[in-house]
């Protein structure tokens, strides 16, 4: 199985801050990396697919980059509604695997 790690596990930032979450895979997964946002009691919501493609309807302050084993999710200007847990997920091969999540709080 391909193992996914994320850092940090949690962060607290202010409205308007730029934040970056890192995701690393245990082997190369090309660009087959997706990012999801999950709020308490809700289903995960797709933000970014194929490492850098913004899902329709997702605000442009979200962006993704990377390839191979190292990927990042950036929120350019943090908003109150961005308080959530963020997961990366590899779709290079089955079993599909997710990172452990990064919890983002607003100060």
Interface with other proteins (CB under 8 A): 1, 31-32, 34, 36, 42-46, 49-50, 53, 55, 87, 89, 91, 94-101
Q: Between 16 and 95, whose beta carbon lies closer to other proteins?
A: 95
Q: How many Å separate Cα 82 from the centre of its chain?
A: 12
Q: Between 19 and 48, whose beta carbon lies closer to other proteins?
A: 48
Query: Residue 75 Cβ, how far from other proteins at the closest point, in Å?
Result: 19
Query: Residue 58 Cβ, how far from other proteins at the closest point, in Å?
Result: 12
Q: Between 17 and 103, whose beta carbon lies closer to other proteins?
A: 103
How many angstroms separate the CA atoms of 25 and 89, rounded? 9
Distances (CA, A) of 92 to 51, 67, 78: 11, 12, 30
How many angstroms separate the CA atoms of 80 and 70, rounded? 27
Query: Residue 96 Cβ, how far from other proteins at the closest point, in Å?
Result: 4
Q: Between 68 and 101, whose beta carbon lies closer to other proteins?
A: 101
Task: Name which of 41, 61, 39, 49 is nearest 90 in CA terms.
Answer: 49
């Amino acid at each position: 199985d391909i193992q996914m790690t994320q850092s940090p596990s949690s962060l607290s930032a202010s409205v308007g801050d730029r934040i970056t979450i890192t995701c690393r895979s245990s082997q190369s997964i090309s660009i087959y990396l997706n990012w999801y946002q999950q709020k308490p009691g809700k289903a995960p919501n797709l933000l970014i697919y194929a490492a850098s493609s913004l899902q329709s309807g997702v605000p442009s302050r979200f962006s993704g980059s990377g390839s191979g084993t190292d990927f990042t999710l950036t929120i350019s200007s943090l908003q109150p509604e961005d308080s959530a847990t963020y997961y990366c997920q590899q779709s290079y091969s089955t079993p599909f695997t997710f990172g452990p999540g990064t919890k983002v709080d607003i100060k």
